[in-house]
Amino acid sequence: MAKKEFSFNSAVVEIENILHNIESGDLDIDKLSVEVKRASELIKECQKKLRLTEEEINSIFKDLA
């Protein structure tokens, strides 16, 4: 598998860390924009994982049956 597998769990952990950093309140405003951008990317990836079909998995499963 050439593509690095997206891990929902580690994405959630990363989002939780970002949230924790932002909620602590003393985050530098320059860092805030970086963190928010990263969180929004991760959230998008997570949503994609839940709803978008990966044909790769489908074809592997077809071969197994």
Partner 1 sequence: MAEKVSLTELQLIIRDSLYLALPDIYWVIAEISELTENNAGHCYLELIEKHQDEKNVRARVKAIIWSNRYRFLKAFFENITGESLREGLKILVKAKVEYHELYGLSLIISDIDPAFTVGEMAMKRQLIIKKLEQDGVFSMNKELTFPAVPQRIAVISSKSAAGYSDFVNHLKGNSFGYVFYTSLIETSLQGTETELSVITALDKIALNSHLFDLVVIIRGGGSQSDLSWFDSYNIAYHVTQFPLPVITGIGHDKDVSVTDMVANRSLKTPTAVADFLIDTFADAENHIIEMSSLITVASLIIIEKNKNRIEASSIKLFPLARIMMSGIKDKLSSEIIEIISIGKELIIRAGLIPANLESRLSSAMKSLTSGKDLVLKRNRERLIADTINCLNSKKVMLKSLENSSQHLNPENILRRGFSITSINGKILKNFEEIKNDDMIDTQLYRGTLKSKVVKIKGR
Task: List residues binding partner 1 (CB under 8 A).
Answer: 8-9, 12, 15-16, 18-19, 22-23, 25, 27, 29-30, 32-33, 36-37, 39-40, 43-44, 46-47, 49-54, 57-58, 60-61, 64-65
| Residue number with CB closer to partner 1 (3 or 39) | 39
Question: 61: which residues sit within 8 A by CB, 6+ positions away?
Answer: none
| Residue number with CB closer to partner 1 (2 or 27) | 27
Q: What distance lies between CA 34 and its chain's CA centroid?
A: 15
Residue 39 identity: A
Residue 2, φ and ψ in degrees, nearest 5: -75, -40
| Residue number with CB closer to partner 1 (2 or 25) | 25
